[in-house]
Amino acid sequence: MRLRQCLSQLKPYIAGKGYTEITRKYKVPLKDIIKLGSNENPYGPSPQVARALKTISVERYPESEELLSALSSYIGFPEENIVIGAGMDGVMETLTRLFLENGDKSLIPIPTFSYYEILTILNGAKPIFAERVLDFEIPKTIPNDVKMVFICSPNNPTGNATPEDVVRQLTETTEAIVFLDEAYVEFAEKSLANLVEKYDNFIVGRTMSKAFGLAGLRLGYAVVPEWIAEQYRRAAPPFFGITCASVAAGIAALRDLEYMRLSVSKICSERERLWKAMRCSPSQANFLYVETIEPSDIVAEKLLRQGIIIRDCRSFLGSGDHHIRVTIGTTEQNNRFLQAYQKLCV
């Protein structure tokens, strides 16, 4: 056997469906497809991003200094505490390499983003799953032998945020590294990034993919204690996996916070409207987690035939087979989804 043994435990990561797959399979014209399955921002990035992309020199390797300084102003932490990567996925890949190895364990409250499990296994470690219980809250204690804990807040796919006192208590009572995934925090009431100052086992992951509308360019970052940043720079790939395009776009987007905040506020007000109409769990992210009467794969399939892509949550461990996740789109997209969904429910 040439392959590493851990690969036999892995299934490929399941992403939300894309335009090409749906036009090919269901013959729905591209213009009629609405994509509410990947938690992208329907308003896209600031118009400054397109301008910035015209100025890049693709024959040069990327330089990260200006990006780090823009991130530092945005997040309110010194550059020494910020690490970057190809999406938050890339950042997590390097971070898990720092802490997890053969025989280690990670704790993953489920249902949640599945890449934590994949990275744990790829590093030879073992994921321990803890069911989120009442209101999808995480367990309050961590087994002693756990090396890394993944808390997603707001959580994908359930949409709930973990309260500060729970995160604090957990971090204070464990030796493990607590990784708080704040991919959706711009849509939430508050960020807990400031806790990085207090705890040397606490990391906050962030992304430019969601509120900033740059999913296609793959740019993420994390706020980490300085000792972790130093080790990160040893284990990261050359140029941290960033590109001239992602750097230019990231800087431009961070210089136009007004645009990002406006799109977030439109998404949040649509979220409240859709939530009332759907009578589902509350959400602090740019999506809703909806319990379905019919099995979720059937609901997803019926919507796909009409060109509406949502996420069937069966691929989230611990989510069962009666939940879908719907990204908040534009008013027009949400109306189309709502009409189609309500018709399915009668």
User: What is the distance between the alpha carbons of residues 257 and 121, in angstroms, rounded to a whole number?
Assistant: 37
Q: Which of 174, 186, 178 is nearest to 203 (CA)?
A: 178
Residue nearest to ligand PLP (CB): 87
Restricted to residues 202-261, the positions that interact with ligand PLP (CB under 6 A) are 207, 209, 215, 220
Q: Which is nearer to ligand PLP, 215 or 260 (CB)?
A: 215
Single residue of 74, 77, 99, 113 touching ligand PLP by CB under 6 A: 113
Pattern 63-92, ligand PLP, x by CB under 6 A: ------------------------xxx---
Restricted to residues 3-42, the positions that interact with ligand PLP (CB under 6 A) are 39
Residue type at 273? R
Q: Which is nearer to ligand PLP, 88 or 326 (CB)?
A: 88
Strands (E), the chain: 34-35, 82-85, 105-110, 126-131, 146-152, 177-181, 202-207, 220-223, 287-291, 308-309, 311-312, 323-327
Q: Which is nearer to ligand PLP, 28 or 160 (CB)?
A: 160
104 binds ligand PLP (CB under 6 A): no
Nearest approach, Cβ of residue 85 and ligand PLP (Å): 8
**Total site size for ligand PLP, rule CB under 6 A:** 13
Q: Which of 193, 241, 192 is nearest to 219 (CA)?
A: 241
* Axis-axis angle for helices 87-99, 226-235 (nearest 10): 100
Nearest approach, Cβ of residue 188 and ligand PLP (Å): 12
Binding site for ligand PLP (CB under 6 A): 39, 87-89, 113, 152, 156, 181, 183, 207, 209, 215, 220
